[in-house]
Structure 1
């Protein structure tokens, strides 16, 4: 598996699985029917943010991540990351590889920590993955997310020093 910077040419491979993940409404705070152009603009970030893709030996996009400043100004030293793995390629370590890569990239870019603002507490695989990579839950916003099957559930804020 290779992780590299995403290009506009990667978007047609990213959007189909991203659209399905967003439409399911179980893990992201995007609108479930978000328009492709709006999602692309929020994911394929200009500098100092970056979007990445994980690809296999044939060049198939397995998943994607983005890293950006969590806030501007006095909070610009904290990175934020987001990750989506094509469900057809789940269970192969793609999320872990993207997560580890983003931590390395953010540290090399001069960020001092990484914060996730909205990890849905029922997304137990993601919570466990991030904890295994050194993140801690620093707060949970009770009923901060309306899950289509579980109703109102908490949103974790997770943090890791780099």
Structure 2
């Protein structure tokens, strides 16, 4: 597996798995019909210290992460990130590799911490992964996410310091 900066030519492969993930409504709080143009701009158009990375397996985009400041101005020293893994590549360590790469990249780019604002509690694999990578659940927002199968479920707010 190779982790690298995303390039414009990666977008069609990313959108091929991002669109069904968004449309499923199970892990992202975005509208299920979020347009491609908006998603592409949000995911790909990052100004430093933001970044978009992809994981490649056998020259195919297997997953992606976008990194950006959690807030502007006085909150810009804390990174936020979004992750998506192509279902065809699940259970191959792509999420962990992207998580490790995002932590390293955010630290190298000067962020002091990373915070996730919306990890859906029914996404137990993601919650477990982030805990294993040193994130702490600061709070769970009760009924903060409208899951298409489970109804109202909680959302974890997770945090991890970066660097030493």
Range of TM-score over shorter length: over 0.9
Does the CA-based 8 Å contact 2:25-2:148 persist in structure 1? yes
Give the C-alpha shift of residue 103 in structure 1: 0.3
Give structure 1 stretches of 5+ with no counterpart: none
Hey, what does 2:54 align to over in structure 1? 53
d(CA) in 2 for partners of 1:76 and 1:45?
17
Aligned-residue CA RMSD (Å)? 0.7
Hey, what does 2:41 align to over in structure 1? 41
TM-score normalised by structure 1 residue count: 0.98
Give structure 2 stretches of 5+ with no counterpart: none
The residue correspondences of 1:145-160 to structure 2 (distance < 5 A) are 145-160=145-160
Q: Deviations over 1:19-47 (max 9, x none)?
A: 01111110001111111001111111321
Hey, what does 2:142 align to over in structure 1? 142
Hey, what does 1:91 align to over in structure 2? 91
d(CA) in 2 for partners of 1:114 and 1:100?
12
Hey, what does 1:74 align to over in structure 2? 74
Hey, what does 1:18 align to over in structure 2? 18
TM-score normalised by structure 2 residue count: 0.96
Hey, what does 2:64 align to over in structure 1? 64
Hey, what does 1:8 align to over in structure 2? 8
Hey, what does 1:126 align to over in structure 2? 126
